[in-house]
Amino acid sequence: MSLQCVIIAGGLATRLRPLTEKIPKVLLEVGGRPFLDHQLTWLARRGVTDVVLCLGYLGEQVEAFAGDGKRWGLTVRYSHDGATPLGTAGAVRQALDRGLLAERFLLTWGDSFLPIDPRGVFERFERSGLPALMTVFRNEGRLDASNATLEGPLARYDKKQGAAKGYRAIDYGLMAFRREVFERLVPAGTPKDLAAVCGALSDADELAGDEAYLRFFEIGSHQGLAEADAFFSRGGPPRGLLVLDRDGVLDAMILDEKGGEDSPQHVDQVRILDGAPLALRLLHDAGYTLVLATNQPAAAKGKTPRAQLEAVHARVLELTQAAGGRISSSHICWHRHEDGCACRKPRPGLLLEALAAWPGHDLSDSWMVGDRPTDVQAGKAAGLKTAKLGAEAQADWTGTSLESFARFLLTTRGFF
């Protein structure tokens, strides 16, 4: 499925002079590579297929660098400002008039790196039924002056008066639009700022809101540039694989008739643990690939029909991904201990299967996360780092919940 993202990168970047006198801002080196390289790499990794760059000052250098986009597996096309600067919304309208825009598209800024899943944002935009969507970050005044807030399914946006209105959040920098918005609100050939368009959409209750959870990086100022450089010099967005045990990590164990702990055996017994959906969302937005590895022997023991266990699994997947996290694959051992299979944890078969299914991950930042010593054993046998929920284990990390593990990982990697 194609997914288009418009990137606005036409500014003069006066705040970064003299760095930007001869080099456009998006080509400044950050962590040893041009900033645009990091941005295109991320968009391609997370499902964008088609990029339209709206360019102005020194735009020919940007086009010379990115070319047709094949290097990233993208199609990249260009819309250069003419003699009269059209403002950010005017530039989008011009790209529209040149026939470059899809009927629905994402839009972001050339100077921002946003750890969020653009395809997930686009899917939520489609579900909203509204003509536009704004991602919003609860900055509490930290990263810039507040100009937005979430109100039910809507975003409220007021660039100038937002702080005075008591807004505590900020426009995160990724939006989605129907093309008709620009036909309707931006006259061709007339300079107009995107902030005015978003303000009008907000006033008309036409702007859907979507919360972003991880801090953004922007290179609009020297301080922002230094922070982005530090982030990308440490490796940027993670490329690790996280293998998660299911029961006791995502969903609660149940008590069986003898008072022992068991996996849920029926959909009605599925109870998702606090914070698990948010944790999946945070880890996915940051860049990790998430998979499940779980032992489910009840059908082989003749206790529960296999179809019932599969319904339980589908229910856990549905509920835990509701906040926008993604589980890329599930690896399940259906055997009993006495079957002597290679996949039942503590053996590493399921984990090795997951590693083979998702090649190219960063093994130094790949983890097995479980609530049992057998999970830790399997993780070690597969060469992964290990995290254990609950007490007493020889794991690399121990804590109370998947959310606390997510916050630990992402804090050390500069996302909070």
Q: How far is CA 145 from the centre of its chain?
A: 24
**Is the separation of the CB atoms in 377 and 386 below 8 Å?**
no
**Is the separation of the CB atoms in 247 and 369 below 8 Å?**
no
Closest CA to 405 of 308, 283, 224, 297: 283
Stretch that binds Zn ion, among 214-222, 318-326, 327-335, 362-370 (CB under 5 A): 327-335
Closest CA to 309 of 268, 264, 345: 264
- Return the residue of 25, 38, 156, 344 that touches Zn ion, per CB under 5 A: 344
At its nearest, how many Å lie between Zn ion and the CB of residue 377? Answer: 15
Stretch 279-308 residues interacting with Mg ion (CB under 5 A): none
**Is the separation of the CB atoms in 93 and 186 below 8 Å?**
yes
Query: Which residue of the set 37, 229, 245, 365 is catalytic?
Result: 245
Q: Is 247 considered catalytic here? A: yes
- Return the residue of 117, 229, 245, 353 that touches Mg ion, per CB under 5 A: 245
Q: Is 365 considered catalytic here? A: no
Q: Which is nearer to Zn ion, 143 or 300 (CB)?
A: 300
At its nearest, how many Å lie between Mg ion and the CB of residue 127? Answer: 32
Q: Are strands 241-244 and 289-295 parallel, antiparallel or unpaired?
A: parallel
Residue 341 interface partner, choices Mg ion, Zn ion, none, CB cut-off 5-8 Å depending on type: Zn ion
Q: What is the largest CA-CA distance in the chain?
A: 79
Q: Which is nearer to Mg ion, 25 or 388 (CB)?
A: 388
Residue pointed to by tokens 């825009």: 101
DSSP class of residue 407?
Answer: H
Binding string, residues 29-48; x marks residues near Zn ion by CB under 5 A:
--------------------
At its nearest, how many Å lie between Zn ion and the CB of residue 312? Answer: 18
Q: How far is CA 397 from the centre of its chain?
A: 24
Beta-carbon contacts of residue 303 (< 8 Å; ≥ 6 apart): 265
Q: Which is nearer to Zn ion, 46 or 372 (CB)?
A: 372
Stretch that binds Zn ion, among 74-82, 121-129, 337-345, 380-388 (CB under 5 A): 337-345
Q: How far is CA 172 from the centre of its chain?
A: 13
DSSP reduced 3-state for 65: helix
At its nearest, how many Å lie between Zn ion and the CB of residue 354? Answer: 14
341 binds Zn ion (CB under 5 A): yes
Q: Which is nearer to Zn ion, 91 or 350 (CB)?
A: 350
At its nearest, how many Å lie between Zn ion and the CB of residue 280? Answer: 25
Q: End-to-end distance of the chain based on CA atoms, in angstroms?
A: 32
Q: Annotated active-site positions, please?
A: 245, 247
Binding site for Mg ion (CB under 5 A): 245, 247-248, 371
